[in-house]
A and B are shown apart, each in its own frame.
Chain A
Amino acid sequence: AQKITQTQPGMFVQEKEAVTLDCTYDTSDPSYGLFWYKQPSSGEMIFLIYQGSYDQQNATEGRYSLNFQKARKSANLVISASQLGDSAMYFCAMQTGTYKYIFGTGTRLKVLA
């Protein structure tokens, strides 16, 4: 079965520190994509970062990086130098061969001043 698991319902981090949000996935399809989205309190879904299953290097986008460990089937999001504006829900999603995204249940991140 294809599944995304986010085990951290909530996380706190001090401003300017780094934080890792966990995501594990399950699929038997060798070709897949992994995505992270941010959902602030205003509700929109903001695309952050993408990792393809065949990509050799971990994806990075500014302060966001994706720690991709294929053997462990994990795709953790690392946010460096946290800012107050990073407080939001974060969703991990997987796409396997078709167009459908499968989303995890999300992690609510709170950045403390």
Chain B
Amino acid sequence: NAGVMQNPRHLVRRRGQEARLRCSPMKGHSHVYWYRQLPEEGLKFMVYLQKENIIDESGMPKERFSAEFPKEGPSILRIQQVVRGDSAAYFCASSPSPSGSTDTQYFGPGTRLTVL
């Protein structure tokens, strides 16, 4: 049973370039969440998606960041015109249903983005 998969594990970009992070949820899970972890901090919620729908993007910066979860294929977190402050670990999690207070979210290994 494959867990949540994220790629790449490490990504280096120069300022102004685009970063594209991919997440494949666990088999049977149709709900995906993205979190960001800045150095020496806890994870912060960014966005919640179901297939072809963004349910909640309240934690995502208004500019340069976008996310999608198409009918086929992985969820993508896209960061345009990256800046040094975007350097962080980006984690994807999945759950089988709208995660209420009894559902566990399972996390991927994260993508570590470094902006030079």
Chain B residues closer than 8 Å to A106, beta-carbon distance? 41-42
Asked if B98 and A103 make an inter-chain contact with CB atoms under 8 angstroms apart, the answer reads no
Q: Mark A34-55, 1 if CB is under 8 A from B, else 0.
A: 0101000011111100101100
Docked complex Cα distance between A47 and B107 (Å)? 8
- Asked whether B23 is an interface residue with its Cβ less than 8 Å from the other chain, the reply is no
CA of A46 to CA of B104, assembled, Å? 11
Q: Say which size band chain B's interface belongs to.
A: 20 to 34
A residues neighboring B (CB under 8 Å): 4, 31-33, 35, 37, 42-47, 50, 52-53, 91, 93, 95-106
Given contacts A97-B100, A97-B101, A99-B95, contact A45 B110 (CB under 8 A): yes
Residues of A with C-beta under 8 A to B64:
none
Q: Which chain B residue lies CB-closest to A97? A: B101
Q: How far is the CB of B69 from chain A (nearest CB, A)?
A: 14
Other A-B pairs, 8, CB within 8 Å; known A45-B91, A97-B100: A33-B102, A45-B107, A53-B101, A96-B101, A97-B101, A100-B33, A101-B35, A106-B41
Contact of A103 among B31, B43, B108, B109 (CB under 8 A): B43
* A106 (CB) vs chain B CBs: closest residue: B42
Residues of chain A within 8 A of B107, CB atoms compared: 37, 44-47
Contacts of B109 in A (CB 8 A): 42-44
21 CB < 8 A contacts A-B: A32-B101, A33-B101, A35-B104, A43-B89, A43-B110, A45-B91, A47-B104, A47-B106, A52-B101, A93-B42, A95-B100, A97-B101, A99-B33, A99-B56, A100-B48, A100-B59, A101-B35, A101-B43, A103-B43, A104-B42, A105-B41
Is B45 close to A, CB under 8 A?
Answer: yes
**Smallest CB gap from B106: residue in A:** A47
User: What chain B residues lie within 8 Å of A53 (beta carbons)?
Assistant: 101
A46 to B93, CA, bound (A): 11
* B window 48-90: CB within 8 A of A: 48, 56, 59, 89
Partner of A31, one of B43, B56, B101: B101
Q: A43-B89, A91-B42, A103-B44 are in contact. Are A50 and B104 (CB under 8 A)?
A: yes
